[in-house]
Amino acid sequence: MKKVGILGGTFNPPHIGHLLIASEVQNSLNLDEIWFMPNHVPPHKKMPESVKDEERLHMLELAVSDNPAFQVQPIELKREGPSYTVETMKVINETYQNIQFFFIIGADMIEYLPKWHKIDELVNLVQFVGVERPNYHRETEYPVLYVDVPAIDVSSSMIRDRFKNGKTVRYLLPDRVIAYIEENHLYGT
């Protein structure tokens, strides 16, 4: 049976932290692929409105383009309303019946699991994989596999602030993504 990791998020923009997490989880768990799944309306945080879904999708495609095991799964961008993982996993499990899925979350989301929409149903649809993030705890009552990932304290909000303030983002984003952001004048560039 094929094994696929899913890394969801806003990817606004996608950065090296996302790519590092995906690579480390893929190698640690011997996964065949990692699917990056940008959400349309994240239920747990407000999205900055400056970048369109299509732009986030294109930046993500650019970010993963040099790794054949990395794919972009735009299923949540095609649906209206909040991107609830339980609804997405129902569709994905029905569509791809011969794949075992591993949903990758950071330590911030491990702490938040009790608040996830229909979490008791969701844990029966997918295996959660937790990775470390600085200043978060990983204790939870839910079944989570843990993968050690080198800590890189980088976030999309920090990168957006750097763009806004004219600071460098070199080595924080793939060069293709930086070029796209600058060419399209995103994030105040």
Asked if residue 134 is part of any domain, the answer here is yes
Domain range for 91 is 2-151
The mean pLDDT of 136-155, rounded to a whole number, is 86
Asked if residue 182 is part of any domain, the answer here is no
Please measure the distance between the N-terminal and C-terminal CA atoms of the chain and give it in whole angstroms: 45
Residue found under tokens 């295996």:
127
Q: pLDDT per residue over 41-61, tens digit each?
A: 666 566 556 799 999 999 999
Asked if residue 167 is part of any domain, the answer here is no
The mean pLDDT of 151-173, rounded to a whole number, is 93
Asked if residue 39 is part of any domain, the answer here is yes
Answer with the residue of higher pLDDT: 177 or 114: 177
Report the SS3 class of residue 113: helix
Q: Comparing C-alpha atoms, which of 3, 5, 18, 8 is closest to residue 62? A: 18
Checking 154-161 for CB contacts under 8 A at 24+ apart, the result is: 154/15, 154/16, 154/17, 155/15, 155/17, 156/10, 156/11, 156/12, 156/13, 156/14, 156/15, 159/13, 159/15, 159/187, 160/12, 160/13, 160/48, 160/187
Q: Comparing C-alpha atoms, which of 84, 18, 17, 13 is closest to residue 51? A: 13
As a whole number of Å, the CA-based R_g of the chain is 16
For the chain, what is the domain count?
1
CATH code assigned at 72:
3.40.50.620
Q: pLDDT per residue over 146-160, tens digit each?
A: 998 998 889 999 999
Asked if residue 179 is part of any domain, the answer here is no
Asked if residue 54 is part of any domain, the answer here is yes
Asked if residue 157 is part of any domain, the answer here is no
> What was the pLDDT predicted at 79?
83
Asked if residue 163 is part of any domain, the answer here is no
